[in-house]
Every structure is written in C-alpha cells, then in structure tokens.
Amino acid sequence: MSTEQTNQSWGGRFNEAMDGFVEQFNASVDFDRRLYRQDIAGSIAHATMLAEAGVLSPEDRQAIVAGLEAIRADIERGTFDWKAALEDVHMNIEARLTANIGDAGKRLHTGRSRNDQVATDIRLYLREAIDSILETLGRLQAGLLSLAEREAETIMPGFTHLQVAQPVTFGHHMMAWFEMLDRDAGRLRDCRARLNVMPLGSAALAGTTFPIDRGITCRLLGFDRPSDNSLDAVSDRDFAIEFCAAGAMIMTHLSRFSEELVLWASAQFNFVNLPDRFCTGSSIMPQKKNPDIPELVRGKTGRVNGNLVALLTLMKGQPLAYNKDNQEDKEPLFDTIDTVQACLRAYADMVPHIEVKEEQMRQAALQGYATATDLADYLVRKQVPFRDAHEIVGKAVKHGLDTGRDLSEMSVAELAEFSPVIEADVMHVLSLTGSVAARDHLGGTAPNQVKEAVRRARNRLGLT
Ligand code: ARG
C-alpha cells in the first residue's frame, strides 16, 4: 500500500485505504487545530530533550525547531493547509514538518505517542485559558467592588422567597455576588494547580525505552512536575471535567445574578437601568428595551452544564488506558472555555455601569413591613420574650394591612396599643436607615460594614 492511499503515519500494516466517510468521521482536525501552539511548543520541548539525552542529533533538533516555528508562522498567517485525511492537529503538523525538512521530521516522534502528546497539549491549552478567565473574573470582581462602594448606603428591600424580608444595602447585595465569584476563582486556581502536571514521557501508555529526561521537558513547558503514572497520565481527563464543573458553577452564579437583573430591570421592580449598549429593542414593539445580556448569560448556563455532563459521561465507561472516546473531550471543553470567558467579559463590561434607582428601591423597601423584625428586636431589648414580641408585631402588621399603612407610618401612641413598652425611640428603629445601620457586625448589611468588606476584598485581590 502506498502512503498516498493510507495515512502515512500508521498505514504500514493496512491493506486498504480508509473509507471516505470513516476518514471524516474519525478526523478531529477541524476542532483540535486550536491546539497548534501548544502542540508545537510540546514538540520543540520534546526534540530539545531528545537532543540533550543524545537520542537526536543537534542538527536534527535544530531542523525540527526551525521547521516547527515556520509551520507556526504559516498557521498564523492562515496559509497552512489542514487536511482531514491527516486526522488531527498532531499528524497535520508532523506530516508538514517531514515534507519540509525530510528525515529529521520523521525522528520527532521517537519516544512519544499521540496519547501523551494530546494529553500534554490540552493541559497547556487549559492552563492558559484558566489564566485568562481568571483575569476577566478579576475584572468583574473589581467592578462589583466599585459598585458596592458607590452604593454602600443605598437601601433596597432584601428578599426571602422573593417576598420583601428586611431592608439591606445595595452594596451588601453586590458583595454577595463578589463572594460567590471569589470562591469560583478559588476553584479555578485549585483546578489549575492539579492540572499542571506533565504527561509527556508516558508515551502510548507504558513509558518508553529511550533514556528520556522528563525533568527537561517539564521545565521547558512550565509544568510543576512530571506525572507519576503513565497509564493515568494518558487516559484520565479529570482535569477537564474539574474545569467544566468550575465553569458550571460560575455560570450558575452568573445565571442567578442575571435572573435578578432581568427582574430588577422590569417595569414592575424598576430597581436598575442597564445601559442601552447592553440591551436590544423589539422589531415590533417600539417601546421595548430588553435585558438581552443577562438573559443570554442565563441561557448559556444550559450548554455549560451540558458540557460537564458530556465529559462525565464520556469518561465513565473507559477502561485504562487511552481510548479514542477521549477525542470527544475537546469540543465540550473548548465550548466551556469560550462560553465562560464571553459571559464573564460581558458582565465585567456591564456591571460597573449599572444605574441604580435609589428612590424606587427605597419605596419598595417601605412596602411589605420590612422593619417588622426590627420592631420585634426592639421589644426584646425592652425585656419582652422574643416569641411574645413576634406575636405583638404580627398584630401590629395585621393592623397595618387593615388600614393600608407601614409600621413607620403609625404614630407612637398607635403602636403603643400593642405593647406598653413602645416609646418615641421606636421611630428610629422602624426607619430604613436605622434598620440597616443596626446590623453593624462582621458580615452584616450596615453601610460601614459594607465599606469594610470592600476594603478587605480589595486587599485580598491585591487591588490596594
Ligand atoms: N486526536 C486524538 C485525540 O484527540 C489524538 C490521540 C490519538 N491517539 C490514538 N492512539 N489514536 O485523542
């Protein structure tokens, strides 16, 4: 069989050329060409190590490095001719190298397999992706901090069960999102630390007979250490799954945040205004301004969650070591990277420009008896047992509902009907500013606590 009819890198033992459809079906080059930079970096490191180990001549190494760099330039210029017949990114590059430099190109794959090669490439790619996602995430966090600082004193109704519960400050609410994203950043950093282990040198599954020095490739590629078990290193994709899980968590947080922004931007809530440049209109209803960015982010959570399930399912039935199933790891992984990065970017751009409607939120907090707990706490401070206080305030609320007024709209004498301990000092307690200012402890909603929380967070992020 001539090499024109079979894939030249493995065609030796075959009697017929690959079926045309199977060739397409088997190929991954359409999506794994994304790994070209990492693949070339890995090959350069491998060739350099082989030369140091005396397996490759310095001349061959030189030719390989120059050849790979020329190919990289070609790819970046858009003049590289990717071929499905050559299956994947690895063989496309290797075939071109050999075509360009001759026998030295054929020596590159000594002591290596596509199995350790691809496992190395993906780790290098994901490492970079995590770094850039962390950067965008940090930008969003910084935006939340400025918004929280700006609106540290702004009062809004806090909700439980989406019913008005107690007044909170808008800054405190923003800091809740900050905290969630901060844990997300921690998850990404944990994932990065675990994935930064080098599979190269594991070869197909058992290691290689050549006197390789994995310390050299490890150093050249910036890995923390070489992997300890070749079977594990070429086969498991737990690092990709872990990343997708962290991505799903980020999206879940952004989705909840989105849900709030969609509600808040509605005429019914009217708490915020999203800048026009992050919204769209309707082709039929001239009055419409739709919060598309939050809606899209909420919607994209579905595909990221789906990618996580796809990878878990891809992995679950695989015996050791490498199986071709793993070729299916890339699209869900790349899609998760792209989606998470894009959603974080949209949020990082938008969040600092959210316009807060202070008066609307204050009015909303004045409805729904948001300071009822403050009145109960007031009674407790005057020695009324809490359960009795709860009952007393319940009756006062019922009176308010019957007469269409908030607690703060009743006179002291009227309130004193429900308990003789109620005196003039109750009015401060029932005010919105009094209510939030009273929750003045670590983690509480008081404006000065929010400012403190922003300061601590800035320190944590190294923003001061
Ligand atoms: N394209 C393959 C992948 O993504 C590369 C590894 C192929 N290895 C093999 N033994 N066929 O997994």
Q: What is the pLDDT of residues 70-100, one digit of tens each?
A: 999 999 999 999 999 999 999 999 999 999 9
Which residue, among 107, 3, 89, 90, has the nearest Cα to 47 in the 3D structure?
107
Task: Transcribe 214-259 into DSSP letters.
Answer: HHHHHHHHT-SEE-S-HHHHHH--HHHHHHHHHHHHHHHHHHHHHH
Torsion of the alpha carbons at 340, 180, 460 and 294, rounded to the nearest 10: 50
Range of the domain at 91: 19-110
What parts of the chain have a pLDDT lower than 70? 1-8
Give the pLDDT score at 160.
96
Pocket test for ligand 1, best of 22, 114, 123, 329 (most atoms within 8 A of CB): 114
Q: Quick one: tokens of 315?
A: 């992995």
Size of the chain, expressed as the number of residues it contains: 464
357, 408: one domain: no
Inside any domain, residue 418: yes
CATH of the domain at 352: 1.20.200.10
Inside any domain, residue 260: yes
Inside any domain, residue 284: yes
Give the pLDDT score at 232.
98
Inside any domain, residue 330: yes
Residue 156 CA, ligand 1 centroid: distance in Å: 55
Question: How far is the C-alpha of 102 from the C-alpha of 64, rounded, in Å?
Answer: 10
Q: Classify 103 as helix, strand or coil.
A: helix
Lookup result for tokens 């003789």: 420
269, 392: one domain: no
Residues 6+ apart with CB under 8 A from 162: none
Sign of CA dihedral 256, 261, 267, 272: positive
Give the pLDDT score at 200.
98
Of 346, 362, 378, which residue constitutes the final position of a domain?
A: 362
349, 448: one domain: no
Give the pLDDT score at 3.
45
230, 346: one domain: yes
170, 269: one domain: yes
Of 327, 362, 397, which residue constitutes the final position of a domain?
A: 362
Atom of ligand 1 lying closest to residue 87 CA: 1
Inside any domain, residue 116: no
Inside any domain, residue 64: yes
Residue 29 CA, ligand 1 centroid: distance in Å: 11
Give the pLDDT score at 6.
59
Protein residues with CB under 6 Å of any ligand 1 atom: 28, 32, 88, 114-115, 118, 322, 324, 326-327
Q: What is the pLDDT of residues 1-25, one digit of tens each?
A: 444 455 667 888 898 988 999 999 9
Inside any domain, residue 7: no
Q: What's the whole-model pTM score?
A: 0.95
Inside any domain, residue 158: no
| Total number of domains constituting the chain | 3
237, 334: one domain: yes
203, 295: one domain: yes
H helices, E strands: number in the chain: 20, 6
Atom of ligand 1 lying closest to residue 204 CA: 10
The residues that are catalytic are 161, 282
358, 376: one domain: no
Question: How far is the C-alpha of 100 from the C-alpha of 88, rounded, in Å?
Answer: 18
Q: Classify 199 as helix, strand or coil.
A: coil
309, 269: one domain: yes
CATH of the domain at 437: 1.10.40.30
229, 185: one domain: yes
Which residue, among 122, 119, 28, has the nearest Cα to 336 in the 3D structure?
122
99, 223: one domain: no
Of 340, 362, 384, which residue constitutes the final position of a domain?
A: 362
